[in-house]
Structure 1
């Protein structure tokens, strides 16, 4: 019997397992084999929240995890695409600016003129009306992170689909199965569909992550050092895995309006993922009962919250200690 079984082989489950192993636990990860939200995610590490209505407790958790990411990336021992060049948050029109200005004010970020923005990113459209630079927002490549964690955990990761927690022969079970957590625990986690595009060209077109409102359409553009550019993401309350013409058109139109030079890049991949959302879109972190611990429901923040989730769950499992920062995110709140 393993001391701890982690159900779920995505970025959250693997991060939890790695932290437990580092602290001396005997851990098995049961990986159902499905690519989770991490496989589609662009890897933006944006702790400030994207809405003026963001819950303060969640923002504190996001900020704490963002502070952990530089050391966590180094700890993995290989290049996982961690990049601290920062993010430009942009507004294309006056209406876009009105929508974003309240968030920027809360974040206490200085408004930049179009000429200042193009000094930072010459490839931006001259139509960009205003924006801000946030050096706190970084990025990482989730696919590289998952690959590194799987390498570290080695044979502890076992390909097995879990249909019921009663089938898991372990004294402690950590459920980190993303949207699959709902069926295993009965907790209210819903899949929120997101379509994402990957482009490829010569490196250097963009340096910063771009997060923009373009004529009312939300889009992010994440450049990688190797020339890959990730464009996303739609947000749809749907469960299907269809890449739709409308979704691709919406993303490409917004991205090309923002950065016309992207038109010359090769479209290499179109993917669909499902973010695990809860009724309040905040994560589920903590004990469900004496045997089961939940680490799921991270919605849009699974990649960002992986390090802090790992620390919180390891402390709970091995020390019996509830981290004060997780108090607002108990799975029992539902």
Structure 2
């Protein structure tokens, strides 16, 4: 062992979920540390940042809807507080979302989603194809109808992650820029972790927030390993040239050939196009096929997209649980808590996750909105522990 440091809370994983947990914990007066070689990296660098509690609603996920809506409600105040704490703009925009259908089958599916939204007490309005094109003139003439959801907003995840790093530093969070290679367990209690360089970190409580890698930390007893798997997503970034006519004023979503597609316009002229959903394990390769399919479908939805500058392609891994909902709270191993498995809602759930984990760490109990998402709702699973290879 090269060194030994101690804290009240050790967060394993420095993605946005780990960072917000650390920031909120430090604000509650807890001496907090984060172990990650590249804080702010990971899935946040790929995510589009849609805060889409309404348009992301799926059948069977009504329980998750409550948590999503609560986090969306907190976002304006959260964004303002984080901007003040970090001195950085996180790109929060209350611009709304337009979900559209390109053919009769898509229209029927979107009508079904609208009915589910209305049954769930959500605010969305059905528009004709002509009304959709009046809102967004760049849409293809063949758009058959759509849903206008003014309450679904957006944020820039890269700016969000950077601001959280700064806010953590200003709040006194200590960063250990290395991999947590193994959890330390002493007398049937989690007591810290050992980094890849041999540094021993001790803590009164450990939060495992390592994204899709959360189920692969060595030293975690098999019965409390989180059942989290990676789901690959490929994303494109385009740029609207300076002086170009306004392209899109809000996020546009659609199902094209059975695949979900979104276009997220940023105020700086960037347009994020995504995302594939691929069950390919730990592969993060950007493929020609993935890029082609995204551009093809985006062109069918918004033909003018092919005139924009192509600036970046990237792929990331969404941490996914068996029921697509996060794992929040204590495990059966005293001292070890989870904040992972957020799947496609990690950016949206950042405010409510930070608050819930800080309540748990400071007061010993989860708030009511987070209790349905305890890790103990799943039976034990087994993963082969391996050395981590990328940021959470």
Q: TM-score, normalised by structure 1?
A: 0.97
SS in 2 for 1:143: helix
1:323 equivalent to 2:367? Answer yes
Unaligned runs of 5+ in 2: 1-5, 119-123, 185-193, 195-200, 379-392
1:187 equivalent to 2:226? Answer yes
**Distance in structure 1 (CA, Å) of the matches to 2:152 and 2:79:** 15
The one of 332, 339, 343 equivalent to 1:295 is 339
The one of 33, 36, 42 equivalent to 2:38 is 33
1:44 equivalent to 2:50? Answer yes
Shift of 1:321: 1.9
Does the Cα contact within 8 Å between 2:98 and 2:251 map onto a contact in 1?
yes
How big is each residue's C-alpha offset from its partner over 1:121-144, in whole Å with a ceiling of 9 and x where there is no partner?
111111111001101100000100
Query: Map of 1:114-129 to 2, 5 A cutoff?
Result: 114-129=129-144
**Distance in structure 1 (CA, Å) of the matches to 2:267 and 2:55:** 25
* Higher mean C-alpha displacement, 165-174 vs 289-298: 165-174
The size of the alignment, in residue pairs, is 334
The one of 199, 204, 211 equivalent to 1:178 is 211
Match of 2:255 in 1: 213
The one of 151, 174, 177 equivalent to 1:159 is 177
1:247 equivalent to 2:247? Answer no
Match of 1:19 in 2: 24
SS in 2 for 1:126: coil
Between Structure 1 and Structure 2, the one with more helix by share is: 1
**Distance in structure 1 (CA, Å) of the matches to 2:323 and 2:154:** 25
**Distance in structure 2 (CA, Å) of the matches to 1:215 and 1:177:** 34
The one of 214, 218, 226 equivalent to 2:268 is 226
**Distance in structure 2 (CA, Å) of the matches to 1:215 and 1:241:** 24
1:268 equivalent to 2:320? Answer no
How big is each residue's C-alpha offset from its partner over 1:88-107, in whole Å with a ceiling of 9 and x where there is no partner?
01110001111221111222
**Distance in structure 2 (CA, Å) of the matches to 1:28 and 1:305:** 21
Does the Cα contact within 8 Å between 1:150 and 1:157 map onto a contact in 2?
no
**Distance in structure 1 (CA, Å) of the matches to 2:230 and 2:126:** 35
SS in 1 for 2:295: helix
* Higher mean C-alpha displacement, 150-159 vs 235-244: 150-159
Match of 2:152 in 1: 137
**Distance in structure 2 (CA, Å) of the matches to 1:214 and 1:287:** 40
How big is each residue's C-alpha offset from its partner over 1:120-172, in whole Å with a ceiling of 9 and x where there is no partner?
11111111110011011000001001111111222622211011111241111
Shift of 1:49: 5.4
Match of 1:258 in 2: 301
Q: TM-score, normalised by structure 2?
A: 0.83
Does the Cα contact within 8 Å between 1:95 and 1:216 map onto a contact in 2?
no
Shift of 1:113: 1.0
Shift of 1:24: 1.3
Does the Cα contact within 8 Å between 2:11 and 2:22 map onto a contact in 1?
yes
Match of 1:4 in 2: 9
Query: Map of 1:76-87 to 2, 5 A cutoff?
Result: 76-77=82-83, 78-87=88-97
* Higher mean C-alpha displacement, 225-234 vs 161-170: 161-170
Shift of 1:305: 0.5
SS in 1 for 2:126: coil
Instruction: Rate the CA distance shift 1:51–1:148 in 2: closer, same or farther, 3 A.
Output: closer
How big is each residue's C-alpha offset from its partner over 1:46-101, in whole Å with a ceiling of 9 and x where there is no partner?
11253541422100000000011111111112211100010001110001111221
* Higher mean C-alpha displacement, 140-149 vs 112-121: 112-121
Structure 1 or 2, whichever has the larger Rg, is 2
**Distance in structure 2 (CA, Å) of the matches to 1:56 and 1:171:** 35
1:313 equivalent to 2:357? Answer yes
Match of 2:382 in 1: none
Unaligned runs of 5+ in 1: none
Shift of 1:211: 1.0
Match of 2:383 in 1: none
Match of 2:103 in 1: 93
CA RMSD of aligned residues (A): 1.4
Match of 2:72 in 1: 66
Match of 2:62 in 1: 56
